Structure 1
Amino acid sequence: MNILIVEDEPEIARLIRRTLEGEGFSCRIAENGLSALEMFQEQQPDVIVLDLMLPGLDGLEVCARIRQQPGQKDPYILMLTAKGEEIDRIVGLSTGADDYLVKPFSPRELVARVRALLRRSLRQGGQTQTYQTAHFTLDLDRRTANFRRDAHSEPLDLTTLEFNLLATFISYPGRVWSRSQLIDKLWGDDFFGDERVVDTHVARLRKKIEPDPSHPTFVKTVTGVGYKFEDES
């Protein structure tokens, strides 16, 4: 797997490269946005680790330009941000970023985020067709969801909203979602009512995917904030 690291701080760039190459990835480094676009044209990577604040073209502009010219391989983009930057804007659909990581970060978390992205099927033409975790497989084209228990795979009978909710969680493993963020993602401007309706839908989803819904393993509550998805082997 090839990774393009776009980072203007040499020490951070070297740390990222050393960490990922230690896990068997092949890495290249671009020091600014223009170099990143040139290197992207030369060899399209599987993942781009992209710093938000870059000299010249910033990370958002680089991300947007890459998404405007997808080739045979449409890479995953992991955005690096500093504390206090506008996370929601960065990971919004309009930017094209797939996930974000806040500086300072641990090498272990970086590897986990990259591997989580690569567990999805590599995208063709800008579309992610399948999400896969240790226990779940979601086919977005066929709108099917399966749960793996031991060596067996069982189909999940999910409503449209439950499927979309699970896909949202799985697409950003470990990310904490507030109720308002989930409402924006799932309902958009069509939502009217109490945001606590999210709790109802999460409870219904848990009944269908959790071995013990009263002690959830996958969709976990983050007290005072919202929910996050975890699925470790």
Structure 2
Amino acid sequence: MNEKILIIDDEENIVELIKFNLELNGYQTQCAYDGKTGISKIKTWNPDLVLLDIMLPGIDGITIIQLVRSDEKLKHIPIIMMTAKSQDSDKFIGFESGADDYVTKPFIVKELVYRIKAVLKRSVSNSTSGMGKKEIIEINNLTIDFSNYQILKNQKKLELTLKEYELIKYLAENADMVLTRDDILDKVWGYDFFGESRTLDVHIRNIRKKIGDENQGIIETVRGIGYKFNKN
């Protein structure tokens, strides 16, 4: 295993609890207790995953997510938000900024470790899925290029987060099929999702904005069931 996980949180007792349990599960860890140090360690240590508190002294967690996602060398790093706030708006702002998952404090350590394993598994799977093949899906004015791990609209590369790419890839692979919310959450998030399914709606909304699908001609909402990716 030995994946590197950076914990960014200003509550030392929580950091020590997480650090102990992650190292018990075979992960390497480093810690930062403020946003500025966190950003510095992301750049110098290049972790495989970041556990990030939203409320931090100095640079807040949302800003860190935005900085990471705008950096070509760092944008691939999965980020799991940690927040004491339970309001939807806090989670959705994080997802819109590019977070891959979230946990709400107080959390169960086993659940946190489970989420970390799932996010890392998906990250590794997607980084290697295009190796050795030249698979491309073209639908409408979109080109989904698995070999180069990118999506283009009218031959222009779209800036997508890891989770947005995984989601649109899964929908396109099952084009013209109605997919339930539970099925999408299970296949894209990679485990029995503990959070509310509105998380999926946020990601769909972000994707629609980026591909110019506000009228839902490509990604159709099937009320009470889920979503369908239309070929035509």
Normalised to the residue count of structure 2, the TM-score between the two structures is 0.64
Q: Which amino acid is the alignment partner of residue 25 of structure 1?
A: Y
Q: Which residue number corresponds to residue 171 of structure 1?
A: 188
Q: Secondary structure at the match of 1:176?
A: coil
Q: Which residue number corresponds to residue 87 of structure 1?
A: 91
Moved more, 50-59 or 166-175: 166-175
Identity %: 28
**Which has a greater percent of helix?**
2
Q: Please tell me whether residue 113 in structure 1 is matched to residue 138 in structure 2.
A: no
Q: Which residue number corresponds to residue 61 of structure 2?
A: 59
Shift of 1:140: 2.9
Shift of 1:3: 0.3
Shift of 1:159: 2.3
Equivalent residue pairs, number? 181
User: How far apart, in 2, do the equivalents of 1:71 and 1:199 lie?
Assistant: 40
Q: Which amino acid is the alignment partner of residue 63 of structure 1?
A: I
| Distance change >3 Å, CA 187–CA 60, structure 1 → 2 | closer
User: How far apart, in 2, do the equivalents of 1:72 and 1:59 lie?
Assistant: 15
User: How far apart, in 1, do the equivalents of 2:201 and 2:171 lie?
Assistant: 26
| Distance change >3 Å, CA 185–CA 16, structure 1 → 2 | same
User: How far apart, in 2, do the equivalents of 1:41 and 1:65 lie?
Assistant: 11
Residues 173-212 of structure 1 aligned to structure 2 (within 5 Å): 173=191, 174=193, 175-178=195-198, 181=201, 184=205, 189-191=214-216, 197-201=222-226
| Distance change >3 Å, CA 21–CA 160, structure 1 → 2 | farther
Q: Which residue number corresponds to residue 159 of structure 1?
A: 175
Contact 1:3 1:46 in 2 (8 A): yes
1:103-146, Cα deviation, whole Å (9 max, x unpaired): 00011011011011011133668764996xxxxxx9939954xx
Shift of 1:68: 1.4
Shift of 1:160: 4.8
Normalised to the residue count of structure 1, the TM-score between the two structures is 0.64
Q: Which residue number corresponds to residue 135 of structure 1?
A: none
Identify unmatched segments of 5+ residues in structure 1. Answer: 132-137, 145-157, 205-233
Q: Secondary structure at the match of 1:4?
A: strand
